[in-house]
Amino acid sequence: MEFHPVVKGNSDATNVPCPESVLKGQHRNYYDGPNFKEYQTTFSHYQTQPLPQIPQTYHLTKDQISQFHKDGLLVIKGKDFWLPSELTLMLESVEEMGSWVDTAGKWMKYYEPSKNADPAKNGSDKILQRIENFVDYHAGMRYLLAGEKFLGIMSQLFGEQSVLYKEKINYKLPGGSGFAPHQDVAAGWWMYGQSVHISALVAIDAANTTNGALEVVRGGHNQGLLSEPWKEVESQHVDRFKWELVDTAPGDIVLFDSYVPHRSAANNSASQRRALYATYAKLSEGDWRAQYYADKRLSFPPDIERLNGKQYEYKI
């Protein structure tokens, strides 16, 4: 059974002003402290639909939690986290969703011109860029991303129960574009009053220098917002940072704070470089996922829902 929350979107959501606390990065005061403790509790589902139970099989160590708060990021090898059946489910699900038919009002598929495109075609030969808003329509992804196992590690980092905020798959097919240096928080993630978010990149394909792997700035999360709201990181910061490329194998997980500057290059290889991103927030600050996607449908709808002749601006 599919779950369709009825939520009215806000076409002016992107005009919500950015609070001073967000600009200064004061969110970290909410969950940083001198003594890191593993979060131990009985996790409960927040979903309105029952999900298959996933055993809480991965407990972060105190050193891992400490490293995350120090660096703003943490890498977990896929072989240490996923059961073989879970990894197979993840890889097969992403493959399946790539062939989903564009359907208005459901999952959100976005396309881009290929850098390998024939100029004579004037952008008509577009390739799949990403899919968002899919856990309500795919039981396997709901099982993996909104079940106890993933919510559990996020809860350990937050120090309280977590909730799924948004999800997407970046397909980055051959000829796919990269992403300019940015911080996720700059994309209006303050609009719903949440203090901080943590994202998980799950590698679907191996990522490296040739196909546009993730690059991060370790420890860059403690410097506040490094751009104007809705903008990329300013060049003076980009030039002074030490950028670290994160090589990943299928199933590897990169957890990072919403203030960590990151970027990725274009895919100049002959192979696809798909990556799943799931973002989480504190359950105590509300479950805003349905509202987020309702607002996004109005401000930046998927290609199938766009009006002819209207210009849509992707900010970051």
| 309 in any annotated domain | no
| 274 in any annotated domain | yes
Predicted confidence at residue 54, as pLDDT, reads 55
pLDDT in tens, 190-219: 999 998 999 999 999 999 999 999 999 999
Tokens of 167: 């999800």
Predicted confidence at residue 314, as pLDDT, reads 83
Residues of the chain falling short of pLDDT 50: 1-3, 33-52
Residues 6+ positions from 307 with CB-CB distance below 8 Å: none
Q: Is residue 23 exposed (0-12), middle (13-18) or buried (19+ Cβ within 10 Å)?
A: middle
Range of the domain at 150: 26-41+52-304
Three-state DSSP string of 21-49: HHHHCHHHHHCCCCCCCCCCCCCCCCCCC
Predicted confidence at residue 316, as pLDDT, reads 75
* Ramachandran category for residue 35: left, alpha or beta (phi over 0 → left; psi -120 to 50 → alpha): beta
Residues 6+ positions from 243 with CB-CB distance below 8 Å: 215, 216, 217, 263
| 3 in any annotated domain | no
| 314 in any annotated domain | no
- Indicate which CATH number applies to the domain containing 169: 2.60.120.620
Angstrom distance (rounded) from CA 213 to CA 262: 10
pLDDT in tens, 62-76: 899 999 999 999 999
Structural domain total, the chain:
1
- pTM for the predicted model, two decimal places: 0.89
